[in-house]
Chain A
């Protein structure tokens, strides 16, 4: 069943680009944006003159340490003298960028869109975690000195309790993704590690150890999206945007079930409906769920309905989500392996699907034939879900 959404134009991705993901890069944020954007344009065989509109994505200004970071990035993103907009939904921004680019084209407003996501987390000292201090309620929560890892530790614990999942089962995500990242030339945290390494790494906030978490990164990624006519003119293998969905859940994290990501589930249902997908666990061939923490990948796999609630840890152990498995997840290496420059990390996931669906992922190419993929990101105080379904 296809949803009754009227679009003027089908939308395709025709090019992708990415920079190195590293802890601290020499490049300024706009130079990073430029490197990724230029690579995407070259990949699409287009020049900046061919681009009608620009969508920029970057998470809080406080990371780059530049207010109005979208405007600052505009020249490096090719946005001068063009309709340019910055979108921002926290960590969900990376997937919100191609969603916004989709509606620019689907509405008929633009024929070609350059979508750029950039994040430079290294400027904030002593640690970018300090930036997160201001996402909390100033009266009810901030005086307690919470940080992000605290609440995710609580969510992880809830998930472990609800699903009877062990830390060993969850650590396998980190092992898988870091290993996948060994084949990714831009990866920052690729490694061949064991479950034992994860469990014996430094304990940060129980039950979260250091290797359960993605690193702090600088980086950028970019896509070129085009209308159907334009896409068919520039490439023989466009990757279609078949469905998009985004939802905002309750801002208060204490009055909902932390064991199941409702924000992702609602967004996924919207995207699947648009794509005409009724049984995502069968119809999706490859997935890039958002994995800043290892349990989060399992959590999101369930939210995306690629596994039943609480079923993901068992499937993971059976190798279901490996690159050679039935439903490969994070073949790129994910945030755990490639790195987590927030907005750029989300867009990297969409770029990976683009390469997978064009069979251009090289050593990262999944074993099974691929027709459809889903990428997802999540942001804000655990409540923003953004989902995109691509097909070839």
Chain B
């Protein structure tokens, strides 16, 4: 029988997606009232008057909600947290007349159509008492404090002394601007209001459990009164890790008006909540004459909101990736008048590794050593932050394969035809955690031998439906067509939120676990009904093609289970973390190499080639895994050269909240791009030996491009994004 794990299985939900029959949260077809949010036009101050009369009188308007009429019970409730709330006080919509950031929701208009609601919102007259916007991260660095952050990995050795004694040193500052998630599907919530006062909520979320937790905390409905569903998510990248305000709004309106209500955010509103924060890194690195890394200090200051302390794991990466005895790590936060940042694809890792990999490149050049050789020289095979071995680490094989594929040594020179065009090569190391969270699943088999496996996890476009079906098919011993994997429903067994690249590891291991239980179950039933086989050892039984095989005899699952009780056909399973994760550290790794061209007159930077070679344990589906790598790499290109959330220094307002002026990379920006995996055996990371790949590909890419620009031009652009004017003016 053909094994599914390791196959380039087509997406099982592909036909639904390409035919448009996949129902996303805004595709629910009940009759809905439509909600539209009016946002503040100032960053700081208070609302002194709010006249909604013209809006109320407008055709089709069914209700308007503001701080003036928010039900008292919502003001008195205190739990607006969700499972991923950082320390602090979560934002409470319409709580009072205070304005905490520009773009804050200040009124909700509900009408028969979206167009009516949107236009009516523009008829609301708002009078503010405006206070001065105090600026972005850079203007507020004096308020940076480590009191608001968790402690990074412990310092080790004596950095100061080792840095002083180093033969070569660099001290540099690197800046990263704010980035927004921009999933293709905007956030949407559709709430169906039932006669008994219960609601069914279709939410764009990376884990329905988070929406449920939030709704219960805010609205106090009780577990039997709320069901949250999310069959499909059109990309999220972290933007759906926390419930966003459309969930509150649609639910509030549905409960107050006792009607079905839908709220879909506009593209501009997709810039009115979380983002990858702007950060500033200060790097100090020193090495010996032969290029041995001696001392490393990484200090990062990041922005957060005035009401929550959003933190990431940023500087720890600098203590992890290379062998270094003397390390100093510092991480601080500065509040700015903005909404709270939010995890975005490889949160913290992207930022920390960006600064580290640029600094490593600078130090290698100081020492006169090829950047690839420098990295090999300082390779480390255990986790120095935690003082543990890795579950596996085939990064060296990534270096070797990437070098070969890319042709690292075959440096091109500028062509005679285009003397203004400079070519450069750059590289970086990337890494991401291989985590596993507890997860639960249930399995049932029907009389036809069809299996339904349920879990409250999500598929954010990553391929959860597909890889879980593959795992189940192999672990049960049935064709993949016999598996239906269902997700995105709070009625299903609990799952961790889909994030952290841990879904394959966590839910996949739980699926493998429940399948194993099923095999034991079916073997028991078989033995019970076949006295001849009472003494058969489980390991001597073969499970394949939907059959139990023993001693050259074949018994179909369906046939055996006819003699089982209904209860026996339903199996639940909770998968906990495994032992290996406490004694070992699990990480996936990659090496990325890029070629850039820089037009030295016009400053235009292009990336004709990107090659990524990753080590991520067992690859369940090379097709979806490659998709994830490529998507992440393209985003890395965007991060390096394109993306910048532009916050006006006077008004504190994001000024490019659209696809015309917030430049995500487009097809034309992507030329020759390649991703592949090296073999990596791992029997400790989780029962599948698989590491997540959703985030890995973006880590390091921006530094590889920055390093390649230096190789081409001799200019170090220590900021992101790197724009053509940076080339002209440096």
A and B: real partners? no
Which A residues are closer than 8 A to B by beta carbons?
none
